[in-house]
Structure 1
């Protein structure tokens, strides 16, 4: 969620850049493509995904309403990564912010500069915490954390995507859900 502190910056950016309404399964960035944009999800859900050596699809990250989604390591390095971004909810309203234009705009806007620094720092902290959670917390604890922070996801997102995001199989997720019912 966007903090109150940065809501004005987002409002200004959404006045500059166009949004588009996407259907489920539309690709924002294809696998192996250099990620050059930040995406602001005003309404909807998208995921970062990759394929394993058996061409099986895996969910790496999920973002929803009032959140950003981007593969920051590719955006910042300009290198290809084996990840793509896909819309997973019909009617998702998403703004595409080209990173090179944000860089130009931030030179004249201390507010935008601070926002971008905060966004990248928050992303780094969130990914670090997620990695720690994957290594330390049980599958049940990760599921509990998810429903506490995103209770609406269970109704909006395919359980296979949620299982992948939580680092478990769909069968493990079903078992945890059954135990909690």
Structure 2
């Protein structure tokens, strides 16, 4: 009997065994390793599914079966074994008071730009908040001077088709003037 992602089975000796429940329509497809998503999302996928082994499986044989299934699942979706091992390592959360973050910055994920910002932040970790903000401003391209302040993104549109340009100009405020 499936209940809250657990398969509950009553054994002959009267005990209850729980394992991870999967629908009959399961096709072993998860976020592919080569997909354009942040590495943290992929690592979270690994950790979360392996955490279910501990929370959903009541006996060692169930845990072993589920672990074997997960390794096959991740292999089928392009995850390298070293990446899986790295994601499953216990993080070291011990920090001294001096290492606490002083500010938090949320930016939308844009491939390559997000990685460049993260790399720069790691290189300049000891800078003051103001100096770090200046470094970010050097990485992020400024808005064009002709902008009316409502510009969201400045896209080089020489690769976009006319219908794509039309959709962009109506959906959001994109500068597509260099088409």
The alignment's TM-score, normalised by the length of structure 2, stands at 0.22
| The structure with more radius of gyration | 2
Higher RCO (C-alpha 8 Å, min separation 6): 1
When you count helix as a share of all residues, which structure comes out higher? 1
Q: Which has the higher strand share?
A: 1
